[in-house]
Structure 1
Amino acid sequence: MPLPAPQARSHLHTRAVVFRGYHREDGLWDIEAELTDTKTYALERFERGDMPPGTPIHGMAIRATVDDTMTIREIATSMDYTPFGECQQGTDPMQQMVGVTMGPGWRQAIERALGGIRGCTHLRELLFNMATAAYQTIPTYRDRLRRQAGLPEPESTTPPHHLGKCIAWDFDGPVVQRRHPKFAGWQPLKRKA
């Protein structure tokens, strides 16, 4: 459903963000993210001089190579366009994310390693959502490969991580009842104090 018609306005800024997931021949996975910021008008910046409309202010990319558990094995970063030369210092700290798993605690791990002045705001923003892109890439494709091989669905005594995290995946809702009936109405066990 489209957005309602807007009031009269002028387009000034575009932030384009793209995530892509790849399965590598060596069995690992590459999750890539790109961010570009552009203006529709010319800018004059002390650091970069005259910038015609459409010149990227930010142009950054990350490639995280992960294993089947979504643990980062390698990370590569490029910053082709930045507002300041000092922004390039944000690439090296990204190596601190090697060994971190994209899953529960992901955002906290990013903040611990790269928060504040320890890293680049825009690279952190890309990292936040790379876990979602990895989740959209890896389990779905692994399920496809399992089905193509005629293998049964693995048994689990705990619900998939995404259940209970979205209105559609409510444990008491119709989607869980249809897709994961054994977890319909599921409640986590309460720990004894």
Structure 2
Amino acid sequence: MPLPAPQPRKHLHTRAVVYRGYHREDGLWDIEAELSDTKTYALERSQRGTMPPGTPIHGMSIRITVDDTMTIREIASAQDHTPFDECQAGNPPMQQMVGAKLGPGWRVAIDRALGNTRGCTHLRELLFNMATAAYQTIPSYQARLRREAGKPAYSGTQPPYHLGKCIAWDFNGPVVARHHPEFAGWQPLLRKVDAPPKSS
């Protein structure tokens, strides 16, 4: 169902973000992200002069290469359009993400390595959702390859990562019952730090 009709307004800014996932011939996975910011009006910038409407203010891209465990093996970033020449200093720190794992703690790892003035705000923003793009790319294609090989699409003893993470994939809901009945009603084991205190 579409959004309700807006009030009269003037279009000023567009941020476009695209993520793409690839399976490499060497068995690794590439996840790429691109971000651009444009205005509908001319903009003055001290280092770039007059920028006509539609000129990218930000134009940035990242490629991460991950293995089957979602661990980053390589990372590359580029900033083709930036408001300041100094923004290019945000590329070298990205190498600190090599070895990080996409999954629980992903945003904490990004903030620890690249937070505040240690990195570029927009490259960080792109990185945040690269984990989601990787999960959209890798597990479903791995399941396809298993089916093509005549194996079960999923054979793990723990539920897939996306179960229990949104309203549709509620362990007690109909979607899990239909697609992963083996995990319907599943409850994670409580860790000691999660367990309620014993009553005295």
Q: TM-score, length-normalised on structure 2?
A: 0.94
2-structure distance, mates of 1:49, 1:55? 12
Structure 2 counterpart SS, 1:172: coil
What's 1:131 paired with?
A: 131
What do the CA deviations read for 1:163-184 (whole angstroms, capped 9, x no partner)? Answer: 1110000111110111111211
Correspondence 1:35-46 to 2 at 5 A: 35-46=35-46
Percent identity over paired residues: 79
What's 2:2 paired with?
A: 2
What's 1:109 paired with?
A: 109
Structure 1 gaps of 5+ residues are none
What's 1:181 paired with?
A: 181
Structure 2 gaps of 5+ residues are 196-200
2-structure distance, mates of 1:23, 1:175? 28
What's 2:198 paired with?
A: none
What's 1:63 paired with?
A: 63
Correspondence 1:158-173 to 2 at 5 A: 158-173=158-173
Structure 1 counterpart SS, 2:31: strand
One-letter code of the match for 2:26?
Answer: D
Pair 1:68–1:29, CA change in 2 (3 A): same
Instruction: State the 4+ residue runs in structure 1 displaced beyond 2 angstroms.
Output: 152-157, 190-193
**2:92 counterpart of 1:99:** no
Q: Give RMSD over aligned pairs.
A: 1.1
1-structure distance, mates of 2:165, 2:152? 26
1-structure distance, mates of 2:154, 2:184? 18
Q: Residue 152 of structure 1: CA displacement?
A: 2.8
What do the CA deviations read for 1:102-138 (whole angstroms, capped 9, x no partner)? Answer: 1111010000000011000000000000000001011
Equivalent residues of 2:31, 2:64 under 8 A apart: yes
One-letter code of the match for 2:56?
Answer: P
Q: After the TM superposition, which of the residue ranges 157-166 and 25-34 deviates more from structure 2?
A: 157-166
Structure 2 counterpart SS, 1:146: helix
Q: Residue 154 of structure 1: CA displacement?
A: 4.5
One-letter code of the match for 1:155?
Answer: S
